[in-house]
Structure 1
Amino acid sequence: MNRDSLLYPLRNPQNTEHDSALWNWAQNTVVGQREQVHQPQNEAELQQLLSSSKGKVRVIGSRLSPGRMLCVNGDDLLLDLSAMRGVLGEDDDSITFAAGTLLQQVFDALTARNRMLGCSPGVISVQTLAGAIATGTHGQGLDQSSLADEVISIRMVMADGRVREFHRGEADFPAAQTSLGSLGIVTAITLRTQPFRLFTCHKFAVSADTLEQDLPRWNQQYELSKAWWFVDDNLMHVWNANPASEADVQAWHANGGEVIEHGEDTDSSLNDTIDQTLAHMHRDTQIEGKGGKQFRTVTRFRDFTDLSGDIYQLFCRGIAVPQINVEIGVPLDRTPEIISKIKAWYAENHPHMHYPIILRCTGASEAWLSPAYQQPTCFFGFVVYYADDGSLSQEGLHFLTEVEKLLAAEGGRPHWGKYYDPQRYGWREIYPQWDAFRAVREQLDPQCRFSNDYVTALFD
């Protein structure tokens, strides 16, 4: 098996619903056997299961991450926490959810209470809350960081069945915030909340000639900012959002809490670029006609307009489609120089662009293993969608490989829940608290019950 097939496995396009093997969501890796899956109905059942068993243990969550993060041996346990969902408690400034609660359920519960999180959401809302926190899921905006940074406390069942709560301010709390599932089984998470607000998202297309200066400026001037870089056409599509005006707030409420489209300012300037991108995607995925959901991720940029709504309506807009997704966070203060290097590399090599580069920036994180730990960070995101037959564009994969080399050399840190080449990173060099995390892991799980080949390769 060659190296590319290990990093970017081909997909099994067959219906695996009735297989004895359990596949990850993208159906590119078998993570275990269905008979290994246990579904505790509550924390007490989980405690009993852990205390009475001997094998290694992993949680399957929504199975969105690469299969290598979850893959287990035949005598190990796979835990399905989908029965442990919903609100467990709340007060004026915080709310506690069961670990298996989906992000969409979190957002809906907060909105119903006229509250919201202090961070912008990730784009995919079918993640479990515990899984999103454990892998460093983040949104965009320099005044906030990852979802894990909104956590007040985390409740875990440890390897021997005991319960441990980690509270903000405790010495090992930053280890528990983003733990890759390697410390214990999370059962409950308490998040701080703030009053509900609405935003107006201003969308526009602009040349990428001055992206080095524009990207920091957009993030300084707007509370939330996200951009797509269509490198082939040297164009940017930008979403900048600030709190909505009182008039837009009233219009949103009058519209039954649905998004307000400011349609009088529809912009078609990106339409030719969208058509070109769709043509590339159709060729790469061998899909004729209008195709599937992956094409909606770019068709929404055609004839775009400003929008007003809540933060989840505006930014939690991802479409879950099987893909190879690489995202690398680099120090924000080095981002202009890195953008210039990507431009120079592109001008020299003219690589095939399968999809625009996605740019999102966040503030510094407190979590030891967050890619944004201790530094404002710009995340560069890259996507290659699977073809209907389960194959991948080799030109697209070549682009991923080369751009990851470039970003890793600049001190980049990969998103844990996405694809990356581990050989490109010196973990101790890029994570100042790497050995401190290892020490917490060794203390809390001395028998390495929450380990597997993936975790062992990282920490042992």
Structure 2
Amino acid sequence: MLNRRNLIAAMGGLALASRYGVLPAMAAEKRRLPWRNWSGSQQCLPQSRIAPASLAELQELVASTEGIIRPVGAGHSFSPLVPTDDTLVSLSRLGGVSDADSATLQATIGGGTRLGDIGQPLQDAGQALINMPDIDEQTLAGSLATATHGTGAGLGCMSTFVKGLQIVNARGELVDCDALNKPELFQAAKVSLGSLGLITQVRMQSVEPYRLRRETVWMEFEEMLENADSMADQHRNFEFYYVPFSGMGFTDVHDLTDEPVGTTGKNDPNEGAMELKMLRDWLEWSPTLRRLVLGSYASTIPDEITIGNSWKNYANERNVRFNEMEYHLPREAGLKALREIVATLESSHHEVFFPIEVRYVKGDDIWLSPFYQQDSMSIAVHRYFEEDYKPYFKTLEPIFRKYGGRPHWGKLNSLGSADFKELYPHWNDFAEVRAQMDPTGRFLNPYLRDLFMGETG
């Protein structure tokens, strides 16, 4: 028979179970917090999600934690770089701008700092980032890990502005590197997919604060293609978009200016995306009518001019979620590839409504940069997050590859280790440095383990 103490314990357990739907042992179990990326295409249920409050705490975590550790930023990557069943580490509490040097125009920035949180403190220190992408939610470390880029034929990806790095390796040790101190590690770490360790500090080359004049102009697709290369060379930042089934698109340019801050008014890109979806829903059955309606409407949209501080003018607020594939092609092949992509899209995928985005990026010498020794035209295609992206991307990816494209590390693609070895001359050099920093693969989730260590790794 139950004694009084056991009876009370049993009754207490039943009470807990009735209230919370769990047994006492389960109630005491640590709750696991799910993670998913911005679009919902990548997700996992890790054992732990941790945001260390100090560098020492981070080092202790890495040294003492068992299993795989993956860094996680804003979740704006679409490729499977983050998911793990073990430990996710956020560096969000190790951010901020410090040690700004007015002589060299360099500043130290925490790896967990969001790009959108860099502009104001850097400006207060008399500096500005050389360039930025069109989304500023990403962390700096995540942006570097994936060779995130803005646009500008004379401007490289974010990683090209890095002058030094501080990394926590697989043993929890701090490692500093730059062009003179551990140069091979520095070369590898500037674009590393988060596979070498956790980037805690970044020494960034900046410039003096500057103001940009941003102008958006709608025009016919053929006119855009005829002028694209010359506009890319004439303007500091240049990109353009094509709206499928419209025959129309718009150019977006930024140039340095001393004009006062102001704007003619801006169209909301999120509202525009949903309007394109609505027209797709109504007119998918008739591409001809859809082209007539979209083309007629686009030709009435006025030009937009916005003048502002650089870091405020680069970014767009993206509230309409999507999945994305982006390839970086040799610049000389880009326009021909784009024509084939548009023709294929409009003949085979009437369900698509998101615009195609085209940007220019200067080549560099970073081992795993998609822009390695290649001035590039970057072409990005998107699908609404609630719709299946796979058929569309599967159709277009062979075209990207035919023209010598390399995929964005943070965007969806189907390539594997053998493919990347062909695309990157220094793939084996990178793998050697990675093995030195993390010999047992503690920073490799299944996707990265397959890339760098193979099935037997």
> Is contact 2:146–2:409 with CA below 8 Å preserved after alignment?
yes
Aligned residue among 56, 70, 74 for 1:44: 56
User: Deviation digits for residues 193-237 of structure 1, max 9, x if unmatched?
Assistant: 111111212221111124443221110011101111123122120
1:226 matches 2:226:
no
Report the alpha carbon displacement of residue 278 of structure 1 after superposing the two structures with TM: 4.0
Find the counterpart in structure 2 of residue 146 from structure 1.
157
1:259-270 aligned within 5 A: 260-262=262-264
Find the counterpart in structure 2 of residue 236 from structure 1.
249
Once residues 281 and 176 of structure 2 are traced to their aligned partners in structure 1, the CA distance between those partners, rounded to angstroms, is 49
Find the counterpart in structure 2 of residue 448 from structure 1.
441
User: Deviation digits for residues 347-400 of structure 1, max 9, x if unmatched?
Assistant: 6546443211001111013322121111111111111122xxxx41x4x64332
Find the counterpart in structure 2 of residue 99 from structure 1.
111
> Is contact 2:37–2:43 with CA below 8 Å preserved after alignment?
no
Once residues 367 and 450 of structure 1 are traced to their aligned partners in structure 2, the CA distance between those partners, rounded to angstroms, is 21
Find the counterpart in structure 2 of residue 82 from structure 1.
92
Report the alpha carbon displacement of residue 100 of structure 1 after superposing the two structures with TM: 1.0
Tell me the SS of whatever aligns to 1:406: helix
Find the counterpart in structure 2 of residue 134 from structure 1.
145
Find the counterpart in structure 1 of residue 174 from structure 2.
163
1:11-410 aligned within 5 A: 20-26=32-38, 27-33=40-46, 35-66=47-78, 68-73=80-85, 76-92=86-102, 93-119=105-131, 121-169=132-180, 170-244=183-257, 246=258, 248=259, 251-252=260-261, 260-262=262-264, 277-280=276-279, 302-346=301-345, 348-349=347-348, 351-386=350-385, 391-392=386-387, 394=388, 397-410=390-403
Once residues 79 and 346 of structure 1 are traced to their aligned partners in structure 2, the CA distance between those partners, rounded to angstroms, is 39
Report the alpha carbon displacement of residue 149 of structure 1 after superposing the two structures with TM: 0.8
Tell me the SS of whatever aligns to 1:68: coil
Once residues 274 and 175 of structure 2 are traced to their aligned partners in structure 1, the CA distance between those partners, rounded to angstroms, is 53
Report the alpha carbon displacement of residue 24 of structure 1 after superposing the two structures with TM: 1.4
Percent identity for Structure 1 against Structure 2? 24
- How well do the aligned residues superpose, as a CA RMSD in angstroms? 2.9
Structure 2 CA distance for partners of 1:348 and 1:317, relative to 1, 3 Å: closer
Tell me the SS of whatever aligns to 1:182: coil
Report the alpha carbon displacement of residue 158 of structure 1 after superposing the two structures with TM: 0.7
Aligned residue among 407, 419, 422 for 1:426: 419
Structure 2 CA distance for partners of 1:397 and 1:57, relative to 1, 3 Å: closer
Under a length normalisation based on structure 1, what TM-score does the superposition of the two structures give? 0.80
Deviates more, 1:178-187 or 1:418-427: 418-427
Unaligned runs of 5+ in 2: 1-29, 284-296
User: Deviation digits for residues 128-153 of structure 1, max 9, x if unmatched?
Assistant: 11111111111000111111111111
- Structure 1: which amino acid aligns with 2:434? R
> Is contact 1:157–1:187 with CA below 8 Å preserved after alignment?
yes
User: Deviation digits for residues 314-344 of structure 1, max 9, x if unmatched?
Assistant: 2211314432111111111111221232344
Under a length normalisation based on structure 2, what TM-score does the superposition of the two structures give? 0.81
Structure 2 CA distance for partners of 1:43 and 1:274, relative to 1, 3 Å: closer
Report the alpha carbon displacement of residue 427 of structure 1 after superposing the two structures with TM: 0.8
Tell me the SS of whatever aligns to 2:120: helix
- Structure 2: which amino acid aligns with 1:226? E
Report the alpha carbon displacement of residue 283 of structure 1 after superposing the two structures with TM: 6.6
Report the alpha carbon displacement of residue 425 of structure 1 after superposing the two structures with TM: 7.5
Find the counterpart in structure 2 of residue 288 from structure 1.
none
Once residues 417 and 448 of structure 2 are traced to their aligned partners in structure 1, the CA distance between those partners, rounded to angstroms, is 17
Once residues 205 and 366 of structure 1 are traced to their aligned partners in structure 2, the CA distance between those partners, rounded to angstroms, is 35
Structure 2 CA distance for partners of 1:46 and 1:216, relative to 1, 3 Å: same
Instruction: Tell me how many residue pairs correspond in the alignment.
Output: 403
> Is contact 1:281–1:355 with CA below 8 Å preserved after alignment?
no
- Structure 2: which amino acid aligns with 1:422? L
- Structure 2: which amino acid aligns with 1:414? P
Structure 2 CA distance for partners of 1:342 and 1:383, relative to 1, 3 Å: closer
User: Deviation digits for residues 147-168 of structure 1, max 9, x if unmatched?
Assistant: 1111111100111121111203
Structure 2 CA distance for partners of 1:373 and 1:318, relative to 1, 3 Å: farther
Once residues 191 and 320 of structure 1 are traced to their aligned partners in structure 2, the CA distance between those partners, rounded to angstroms, is 29
Report the alpha carbon displacement of residue 424 of structure 1 after superposing the two structures with TM: 11
Aligned residue among 403, 408, 412 for 1:415: 408
Structure 2 CA distance for partners of 1:365 and 1:20, relative to 1, 3 Å: same
Tell me the SS of whatever aligns to 2:45: strand
Report the alpha carbon displacement of residue 182 of structure 1 after superposing the two structures with TM: 0.2
Once residues 213 and 429 of structure 1 are traced to their aligned partners in structure 2, the CA distance between those partners, rounded to angstroms, is 33
Once residues 229 and 118 of structure 2 are traced to their aligned partners in structure 1, the CA distance between those partners, rounded to angstroms, is 31
Once residues 415 and 152 of structure 1 are traced to their aligned partners in structure 2, the CA distance between those partners, rounded to angstroms, is 22
Report the alpha carbon displacement of residue 77 of structure 1 after superposing the two structures with TM: 2.3
Report the alpha carbon displacement of residue 60 of structure 1 after superposing the two structures with TM: 1.8
- Structure 1: which amino acid aligns with 2:447? Y
> Is contact 1:47–1:161 with CA below 8 Å preserved after alignment?
yes
Tell me the SS of whatever aligns to 2:249: strand
Once residues 457 and 220 of structure 1 are traced to their aligned partners in structure 2, the CA distance between those partners, rounded to angstroms, is 40
